[in-house]
């Protein structure tokens, strides 16, 4: 399936200069093939694309005082298989060391505080894949979607107490539950077709049966309708923007849509 994605980010730079790191570029891997991509900065400034330690494609830019806009667009071919139906319990201690880090507590996912809670809610489920699906269902059913109820300091434990938040918060709580059950889980920033209202989106990947699989704990966006931007242990590793300087945000517009399949034998003038 092909998807088109894009965003327009606008800023008023109030300091003499500002330095930006953007996690908005489409990630490239075995499940996502980049067909086209465009980055336009207004005014035209120096920018560079680099790879982070997590393998994310990062755009860095420096801009002087005044108005600054970034326009990004891409077309992506997504061939993401659905998560497995059944995965039996494994031996977490035998997993590769690069995977084990995603079972440890992190800044926003205090999984060590959820061990007893997670086992009481989901511990009787023997199928590891079903455990992750049930975690996502529970989070979606028991949290109230409420923009403004949380902020960048809100952690999974805060969300458990508040029982409200946005996709970022839903994802942090689901990751904490997974890790408490010894299921490796990591944070994923996305573009998502069908999201309403349209915005950047957060989901998680769980390591099941020897591979990472994408789940959405808040809006049930199908994996094939999702374009991954950045991955990390939590949102701290996958922040959409990191800004050094005094800056006011003037606009954020996001788009993501499925490219209609061509109808054989039909020509469009």
Encode the chain in three state secondary structure.
CEEEEEEEEEEEEEEEEEEEEECCCCCCECCEEEEEEEEEEECCCCEEEEECCCCCEEEEEEEEEEEEEEEEEEEEEECCCCCCCCCCCCCHHHCCHHHHHHHCCCCCCCHHHCHHHHHHHHCCCCCHHHHHHHHHHHHHHHCEECCCCCCCCCCHHHHHHHCEECHHHHHHHHHHHHHHCCCCEEEEEEEECCCCCCCCEEEEEEEECCEEEEECCCCCCCHHHEEEEEEECCHHHCCCEEEECCEEEEEEEEEEEECCCCCCCCCCC
Q: Give the pLDDT of residue 124.
A: 94
What residues of the chain score a pLDDT lower than 70? 52-54, 262-269
pTM greater than the 0.75 cutoff? yes
Smallest Cα–Cα separation from 202: which of 96, 99, 109, 120? 109
CATH number of 2-78+241-258: 2.60.40.2250
Q: Give the pLDDT of residue 53.
A: 60
Query: What are the residue ranges of CATH 2.60.40.2250 in the chain?
Result: 2-78+241-258
**CB 207 within 8 Å of CB 183:** yes
Q: Give the pLDDT of residue 262.
A: 59
Q: Give the pLDDT of residue 133.
A: 95
Query: What are the residue ranges of CATH 3.10.620.30 in the chain?
Result: 92-237
Q: Give the pLDDT of residue 166.
A: 96
Q: Give the pLDDT of residue 192.
A: 96
Q: What does the alpha-carbon distance between residue 222 and residue 219 come to, in Å, rounded to a whole number?
A: 9
Q: Give the pLDDT of residue 264.
A: 53
Overall CATH class of domain 92-237: alpha beta
Q: Give the pLDDT of residue 52.
A: 67
């Amino acid at each position: 399936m092909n998807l088109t994605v894009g965003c327009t980010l606008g800023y008023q730079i109030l300091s003499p200069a500002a330095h930006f790191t953007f996690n908005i570029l489409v990630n490239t891997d075995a499940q996502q093939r980049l067909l086209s991509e465009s980055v336009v900065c207004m005014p035209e400034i120096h920018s560079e694309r680099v790879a982070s330690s997590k393998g994310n494609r990062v755009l860095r830019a420096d801009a002087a005082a005044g108005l600054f806009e970034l326009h990004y667009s891409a077309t992506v071919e997504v061939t993401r298989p659905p998560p497995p139906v059944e995965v039996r319990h494994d031996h977490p201690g035998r997993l590769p060391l690069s995977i084990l880090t995603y079972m440890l507590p992190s800044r926003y996912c205090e999984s060590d505080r959820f061990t007893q809670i997670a086992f009481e809610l989901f511990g009787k489920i023997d199928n590891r894949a079903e455990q992750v699906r049930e975690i996502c269902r529970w989070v979606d059913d028991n949290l109230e979607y409420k923009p403004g109820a949380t902020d960048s300091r809100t952690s999974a434990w805060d969300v458990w107490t508040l029982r409200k938040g946005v996709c970022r918060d839903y994802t942090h709580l689901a990751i904490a539950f997974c890790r408490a059950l010894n299921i490796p889980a990591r944070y994923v920033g996305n573009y998502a077709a069908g999201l309403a209202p349209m915005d950047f989106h957060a989901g998680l990947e769980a390591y099941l049966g020897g591979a990472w699989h994408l789940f959405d704990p808040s809006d049930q966006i199908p994996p094939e309708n999702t374009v991954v931007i950045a991955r990390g242990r939590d949102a701290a590793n996958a922040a959409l923007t990191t800004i050094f300087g005094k800056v006011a945000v003037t606009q954020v517009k996001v788009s993501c849509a499925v490219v209609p399949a061509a109808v054989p034998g039909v020509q469009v003038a």
